[in-house]
Amino acid sequence: GTDAPEAVIPFAQPGSLTRVYAVASGKGGVGKSSVTVNLAASLAKRGLSVGVVDADIYGHSVPRMLGVDDKPTQVDNMIMPPQSYGVKVISIGMFTPGNTPVVWRGPMLHRALQQFLADVWWGDLDVLLMDLPPGTGDVAISVAQLVPNAEILVVTTPQQAAAEVAERAGAIATQTHQQVVGVVENMSWLELPDGSRMELFGSGGGQAVSDALTKTLGARVPLLGQIPLDTRLREAGDAGAPIVLAQPDAPAAQALEKIAEGL
Ligand code: ADP
């Protein structure tokens, strides 16, 4: 036929040394992108070669959170990703003019993802993080098909209702035969000036998802950490300098560092 041959995705080849993490959540707004960029920045700070694919079609907030303003360039037939803090970044938002909302459907998303994985000059990455859209939609399935060895990292809040949705996002691994590397609980509490913890969104969600997925998948899915609420985390994201770099002593930054260390 006239179709171009299937592009080769280096991360999916046997013997690839790149660890690929697909960062998933049930609902939006739980901090999935914030966790992704902070883990990326933390790993890069340790000297690892790190890339991020912003596959959150509806949110695509990764470039902003990493302070990336540059567009990708093209060299020969490869796309050169912009870099920030040593992290290579590619986002669907870089290929849409202005602030145009993305209304692509499944097959187009699949092709875009395939291009991000096959046609971007990533070099020899130690770690590739993929920020998925919330839920269990087309993109999660595409990632599973394109990079079957991608391990899922589930982000949830402590809220029980949120945890149930997050559990479904992780349980997709039973169908796709992927590994779930663990659960991150974000927005776990707010530390008050007197040192006490206010549990704004309740408690136990992260542990509940960990327990449920361990049971469903028949393999231990650990709770990797709990990240407190911290205004500085949001401010750092808004300013394009992740909190692990901007405020490394903040408890939220320390929690993220510990999670990155365990990956
Ligand atoms: P998602 O990717 O799940 O939609 P985001 O990472 O975009 O979520 O986070 C949603 C909003 O909440 C952002 O404004 C972000 O800065 C903020 N946020 C995330 N985690 C925290 C936290 N631990 N403390 C304070 N603000 C947070």
CA–centroid distance, residue 235 to ligand 1 (Å): 10
The answer to whether ipTM exceeds 0.85 is yes
Q: Which two tokens stand for residue 226?
A: 């709990």
What confidence score (pLDDT) does residue 47 get? Answer: 97
Residue type, 102: V
Pocket test for ligand 1, best of 25, 30, 34 (most atoms within 8 A of CB): 34
Report which protein residue has its CA nearest ligand 1's atom 26: 234
Only one residue has tokens 């996002």, namely: 169
- State how far the Cα of 204 lies from the Cα of 234, in Å rounded to an integer: 23
Q: Which atom of ligand 1 is nearest to the CA of 25?
A: 3
Q: List the pLDDT tens digit at each of the 263 positions of the chain.
A: 445 556 799 999 999 999 999 999 999 999 999 999 999 999 999 999 999 999 987 778 999 999 999 999 999 989 999 999 999 999 988 887 776 666 677 788 899 999 999 999 999 999 999 999 998 888 899 999 999 999 999 999 999 988 999 999 888 899 999 999 999 999 999 999 999 999 999 999 999 999 999 999 999 999 999 999 999 999 999 999 999 999 999 999 999 999 999 99
- State how far the Cα of 254 lies from the Cα of 263, in Å rounded to an integer: 15
Only one residue has tokens 């479904």, namely: 168
The binding site for ATP consists of: 26-33
Domains defined for the chain, CATH in brackets: 17-262 (3.40.50.300)
Residue list, ligand 1 pocket, CB within 6 Å: 25, 28-34, 59, 61, 186-187, 227, 229-230, 233-234, 237, 252
Q: Which atom of ligand 1 is nearest to the CA of 188?
A: 23
What confidence score (pLDDT) does residue 138 get? Answer: 87
What confidence score (pLDDT) does residue 5 get? Answer: 58
What confidence score (pLDDT) does residue 247 get? Answer: 97
Q: Which atom of ligand 1 is nearest to the CA of 229?
A: 24
Q: Are strands 127-131 and 87-91 parallel, antiparallel or unpaired?
A: unpaired
Q: Other CB atoms closer than 10 Å to residue 17's CB: what's the count?
A: 9
SS3 content of the chain, % helix, strand, coil (to 5): 40, 20, 40
What confidence score (pLDDT) does residue 1 get? Answer: 44
